[in-house]
Amino acid sequence: MKHSWLATNRVAMEAEREQCRAEGREMNTVEVWFDQVLGTDLNKSGNVQAALNLLDQTIELPLNPEFPFTEPNSYAQIVECSPSEGVELSPLNKQDFARLQNQIGGAWAGRCAGCLLGLPFEGKRRPEIEGLLKGIERFPLEGYVKWEYLKDRADLQAQYELVENDADHAWADKTRGAMVEDDELNFTAMNLSAFLRHGVNITPEQIAAFWLENLPVMHMQGAECVAYRNLCLNLLPPLTAKHRNPFREWNGAAIRGDFWGYICAGNPVKAAEFAWRDASVSHVRNGIYAEMFVSAMTAAAFVSDNIATVIRAGLAQIPAESRLTQAIKTVLQWRTEGVEYEDAVKKIHAQWDERYAHFARHAIPNAQIVAVALLWGEGDFGGSVCKAVQAGMETDSNGATVGSIIGIIGGRTAIGVEWTEPLHEALHTGVENMATVTFAQLVQATVQGMVTVLGRA
């Protein structure tokens, strides 16, 4: 059996080439080599070995001295390069336990709902999303897309390759007793379980070992899958993130960031530190920063309902001269200038061509989509998650992140039953000993983790 994410194929080699260019690597000595490798049949072992040899060379390429960004990987250097001025947030009221519990409930329900909303569109390009929605008269998106809308539309089923019982593209009216398993939620649940075992001093090595013990490799994708393989080769973080890993700045770490914000309510600095420990197992540079950004925003959402403030609290934890910071500041500027939602999304797609997996799954454009959905959604749960999904690219990931943050701001009680009913108050996961967990169990365990962190604050 060949696992596509572990194969040295055309997608991987194209991603590596674009990744090296974006990192500012000196490419003069390897451009011809890339042309040669990409011109061969990568199903043949000799050609695969040549590609692997190239991967071993690219990670050692020097940086162009004129590269305009400063993007370290170590936590100490990231802190040193982050903005010196903080974002003023209200203090967390640790005594208002009912409010905190409501917010944690909103986080889990919101994350699941946003993920489910995006699942039918996962892997589809924006024109396909718009075409499908218009075909069922559901454009612009305002709620879940159900199989009921498609069951008598053989034309749309064929055109968009849709089937009724598709585990990868779940329908809100076809969930069976719980929210379906998805990698966006597997990692949130797994981080919860790992934290409860190892506590506040959890290390990247412990997180990595927990992966091996609790989530089979076939449940992983992208950089996580490559890091898993590297762990099995007895490599340790941070080398697991670098060795033959073309996906090291993809969106995979960002989807793991929410939990650290949950347990660090009101403390974006601590949330980002936990996120760094997690992200460094599988990602580098903006892949790491994306998880730190998400976790810090999530933590800030407990104490601020001002979306711009929440976003700036996230930016305060990542290098000021990074590509991700530049991209998010651009989104904030669009909002200030009065750019319309559709135009903002078009601007992102104009820079990042979603026809190529590397661009569609990269951390930066997906973080931009999250920021757009939060800003233009204006705090409304349904409006925010729908804007995240309708924008395309990583629809389930972005829907989940936005749902989590808005779910915290408004709490569980602000999420309408139309969003929570298909979730059945439970979650299926691929994590060991967590096959099906209720929302009540998740909230209770997360609050336990939060109390542990707050007790150290």
Q: Could you report the per-residue pLDDT of 59-95, keeping only the tens digit for each? A: 999 999 999 999 999 999 999 999 967 799 999 999 9
Same domain, residue pair 98 and 37: no
Residue 310 contacts residue 297 (beta carbons within 8 Å): yes
Find the domain containing 34 and state its range: 10-58
- Domain assignment present for 216: yes
What is the band of 7 on the pLDDT scale with cuts at 50, 70, 90? confident
- Domain assignment present for 133: no
What is the band of 331 on the pLDDT scale with cuts at 50, 70, 90? very high
Q: How remote is the C-alpha of 158 from its chain's centroid?
A: 30
- Domain assignment present for 247: yes
- For 91, which DSSP code? P
Question: Lowest-confidence range among 4-13, 60-69, 233-242, 376-385?
Answer: 4-13
Residue 118 contacts residue 389 (beta carbons within 8 Å): yes
Report which of 290, 311, 291 is spatially closest to residue 300, judged by C-alpha positions. 311
Distant-in-sequence, close-in-space partners of 279: CB < 8 Å, separation ≥ 6: 253, 256, 257, 287, 288, 290, 291, 292
CATH assignment at residue 382: 1.10.4080.10
Average pLDDT of every residue of the chain: 96
Rounded CA-CA distance 262/268 in Å is 10
Distant-in-sequence, close-in-space partners of 271: CB < 8 Å, separation ≥ 6: 257, 260, 261, 263, 264, 295, 296, 298, 299, 317
What is the band of 296 on the pLDDT scale with cuts at 50, 70, 90? very high
Rounded CA-CA distance 42/246 in Å is 16
Same domain, residue pair 289 and 259: yes
Q: How large is the average pLDDT for residues 443-451?
A: 97
Q: How large is the average pLDDT for residues 414-425?
A: 98
In this predicted structure, the answer to whether residue 126 has a pLDDT above a threshold of 70 is: yes
Question: What is the reported pTM?
Answer: 0.97
Give strand pairing partners of 438.
Answer: 426
Rounded CA-CA distance 229/240 in Å is 8
Distant-in-sequence, close-in-space partners of 410: CB < 8 Å, separation ≥ 6: 106, 379, 381
Q: What is the dihedral of CA 104, 191, 215, 118, to 10 degrees?
A: 50
Q: What is residue 314's predicted lDDT score, i.e. its pLDDT?
A: 98
Distant-in-sequence, close-in-space partners of 412: CB < 8 Å, separation ≥ 6: 102, 103, 105, 106, 109
Same domain, residue pair 257 and 394: yes
Q: How large is the average pLDDT for residues 219-239?
A: 97
Same domain, residue pair 45 and 89: no
Q: What is residue 3's predicted lDDT score, i.e. its pLDDT?
A: 73
- Domain assignment present for 167: no
Give 173-222 as a 3 state SS string.
Answer: CCCCCCECCCHHHHHHHHHHHHHHHHHHHCCHHHHHHHHHHHCCHHHCCH
Q: Which residue has the higher pLDDT, 35 or 218?
A: 35
In tens, the pLDDT along 308-330 reads: 999 999 999 999 999 999 999 99
In this predicted structure, the answer to whether residue 167 has a pLDDT above a threshold of 90 is: no
Residue 318 contacts residue 78 (beta carbons within 8 Å): yes
Give strand pairing partners of 250.
Answer: 362
Q: What is residue 371's predicted lDDT score, i.e. its pLDDT?
A: 99
- Domain assignment present for 260: yes
Q: What is residue 166's predicted lDDT score, i.e. its pLDDT?
A: 78
Name the percent of the chain lying above pLDDT 90.
94
- Domain assignment present for 173: no
Same domain, residue pair 268 and 298: yes
Q: What is residue 16's predicted lDDT score, i.e. its pLDDT?
A: 98
Same domain, residue pair 267 and 348: yes
Name the percent of the chain lying above pLDDT 70.
98
Q: How large is the average pLDDT for residues 348-360?
A: 97
Same domain, residue pair 109 and 19: no
- How many structural domains comprise the chain? 2
Q: What is residue 364's predicted lDDT score, i.e. its pLDDT?
A: 99
- Domain assignment present for 126: no
In this predicted structure, the answer to whether residue 453 has a pLDDT above a threshold of 80 is: yes
Q: What is the dihedral of CA 221, 34, 392, 312, to 10 degrees?
A: 90
> What would the two tokens of residue 16 be?
């590596």
Same domain, residue pair 332 and 378: yes
- Domain assignment present for 171: no
Same domain, residue pair 358 and 281: yes
In this predicted structure, the answer to whether residue 2 has a pLDDT above a threshold of 70 is: no
Rounded CA-CA distance 184/395 in Å is 11
Same domain, residue pair 328 and 278: yes
Residue 290 contacts residue 367 (beta carbons within 8 Å): yes
Q: What is residue 174's predicted lDDT score, i.e. its pLDDT?
A: 94
Same domain, residue pair 46 and 194: no
Q: What is residue 457's predicted lDDT score, i.e. its pLDDT?
A: 61
Same domain, residue pair 25 and 111: no
